[in-house]
Amino acid sequence: MQSETTGMLFGQVGGSFRDPAGQVFDDGNTILRTVKRIKFDEFMALETQGVFEKLTRRGVVVGSEDVTSQYPEMVADDVKRILRHERLNYISYPYEWSFSQLKDAALLTLDLQIDLLENEDTTLSDNTAYNVQFDGYRPVFIDVLSFEKYVEGRPWVGYGQFCQQFLNPLVMMAKLGVDFRHWFRGNVEGIATTDLAKMLKLRHLMSPGILTHVYLHAKALEAAQRGEQNGASDKPQATLSKTKHLALLKYMRAFVNTLNCGPKASTWGDYEATHTYDDSEFGQKRKFVAEFVGNAAPNMLFDLGCNAGEFSKLSLEAGAKNVIGFDFDPNAVDVAYQRAKAGKLNFLPLQLDAFNPSPSQGWRQNERFGFEDRAEGDAMIALAFEHHLAIAKNTPLDQTISWLAGLAPRGVIEFVPKNDPTVQIMLRGREDIFPDYTQDAFEAILARHGKIVKQKQVTEHGRVLYEYQR
């Protein structure tokens, strides 16, 4: 759809087709949301009460403003209002978050529900984890059309969805030690309660929260399914008073708050203490990166292989406005997230397997966008990263460099030679099938993708930092 006033072409955001109350549109710069007739009166009543303004001011709900008059071509009999939302820096998904990020998103959702029900006589119509995004370290709720007036006696309609997309993944990781990300990515609707219940041991049922919200919940779902199969689905729907509804929400919040993953062995979370650079070498590396970021002054910088976020923090101090960090190690991502929270940094760390990144999926593979569809950095740093693809994963060097250089128009890539101790460990016990993995080949490939602005060797074994510009 093309705007008559701006000339910009808006496309409907894939996942928003499910919402009958309105859809979301994006032209690459502006995010618009339609409010349809079915939701208009209820939305206006809440806006008049000042509900959205109060929550936006607190940073709980994404900001929005009425721009209906600016987009007359989008107004129709069914569309009554056009909202322009504050644009977030990066869209991420629950299967890219650390345990702590998913937990904080769950607590935000529950706190919002409790606040709305207690103070506004309002509730949320759905509890999908995709309604939460991260603005740096802060989780924020993005679906203003999920707000609806509470109806006395109505049960918690988003209960099952909350369990599938928040509670079950957290329980799976906290109590069973199973990484929820792989399972969640394989099923974008979350982790089925009936599946999780089959994994529980008797000791887990000693927890009232698990007994009630996983085991007994699963039994109820199985009984309901049997009833439907036997044609006995006319059972009257259970009711829930407002007092009991609030009690359920508060109990769920208390239970979620007790879930912890605990410290785990981390390959890269301790990188700052275990890396192979001496103090002088590491200082040279920090200086090179800081100078690059200071000159580039990017609005959005990608940090590939961010570990616990030291160079992400350095980049923010050097002049980057926002940093998105990516790391294979989920425990490192969790450490980086805690660092971002503690320092209130404009830094969002996410889990990424660069060899197998998040795909485009959902209906027509257009609901959740793949990594490369969201990769639009102004600058990037890939420090001690490329050899994990080229050597550990046998990715051709030219493809590795092409992929990295394609993520941003300028950046810093660190080349790690074969005689480096880390690469020697990677090659131990296997045949060296990498005759073309040389510094000369690296430079030639990088030069095909742009200008090598400068380079600096930072270790005695030959690690070299290269600044490039496409």
What digits encode the pLDDT tens for the residues 25-63? 998 889 999 999 999 999 999 999 999 999 999 999 999
290's tokens: 């800081």
With cut-offs at 50, 70 and 90, classify the pLDDT of residue 229: low
Using N-to-C axis directions, what is the helix angle for 310-318 and 279-296, rounded to 10°? 40
> Taken in order 135, 138, 143, 144, is the CA torsion positive or negative?
negative
Rounded distance between C-alpha atoms, residue 340 and residue 333, angstroms: 10
pLDDT per position as a tens digit, 156-168:
989 999 999 999 9
pLDDT tops 80 at residue 227: no
pLDDT per position as a tens digit, 313-372:
999 999 999 999 999 999 999 999 999 999 999 999 999 999 999 999 998 888 999 998
Q: What is the pLDDT of residue 169?
A: 97
What are the angstrom distances between the C-alpha of 250 and each of 21, 59, 216? Answer: 28, 21, 19
Q: What is the pLDDT of residue 268?
A: 46
86's tokens: 């504050």
Pick from 371, 415, 376: nearest CA to 397? 415
Distance of CA 8 to the CA centre of its chain: 28
Answer for the pair 245, 159: CB distance below 8 angstroms, yes or no: no
* Percentage of residues in the chain having pLDDT higher than 70: 93
Determine the Cα angle at 117 with ends 112 and 118, to 5°.
100
**3-class SS at 407?**
coil
Determine the Cα angle at 324 with ends 320 and 325, to 5°.
115
Phi, psi of 151 (to 5 degrees): -110, 120
Whose tokens are 């742009």? That residue is 450
Rounded distance between C-alpha atoms, residue 167 and residue 419, angstroms: 47
Answer for the pair 162, 111: CB distance below 8 angstroms, yes or no: no
What are the angstrom distances between the C-alpha of 318 and each of 72, 86, 261, 414, 452? Answer: 43, 26, 33, 19, 21
DSSP class of residue 461 equals T
DSSP class of residue 357 equals P
Determine the Cα angle at 7 with ends 6 and 8, to 5°.
90
pLDDT tops 80 at residue 82: yes
Pick from 341, 359, 311, 317: nearest CA to 98? 341
| Ramachandran sector of residue 368 (left: φ over 0; alpha: ψ -120 to 50; beta: rest) | beta
Torsion of CA 156, 161, 167, 172, to 10 degrees: 150
Rounded distance between C-alpha atoms, residue 237 and residue 222, angstroms: 16
Q: What is the pLDDT of residue 176?
A: 95
Q: What is the pLDDT of residue 9?
A: 60
Q: What is the DSSP string of 157-213?
A: TTHHHHIIIIIHHHHHHHHH---HHHHHHH-TT---HHHHHHH--GGGGGSHHHIII
What are the angstrom distances between the C-alpha of 41 and each of 44, 45, 256? Answer: 5, 6, 34
What is the separation, in whole angstroms, between the first and last Cα of the chain?
A: 32
With a CB cutoff of 8 Å and minimum separation 6, the contacts of 79 are 22, 34, 35, 36, 37
Answer for the pair 30, 95: CB distance below 8 angstroms, yes or no: no
pLDDT per position as a tens digit, 253-276:
999 999 998 665 555 455 555 556
pLDDT per position as a tens digit, 386-423:
999 999 999 999 999 999 999 999 999 999 999 999 99
With cut-offs at 50, 70 and 90, classify the pLDDT of residue 447: very high
Mean pLDDT value of segment 244-250: 95
Distance of CA 313 to the CA centre of its chain: 19
367's tokens: 């609901």
Rounded distance between C-alpha atoms, residue 453 and residue 412, angstroms: 10
CB neighbourhood size of 265 (10 A)? 8
With a CB cutoff of 8 Å and minimum separation 6, the contacts of 161 are 126, 127, 128, 190
Element spanning 33, H or E: strand 31-36
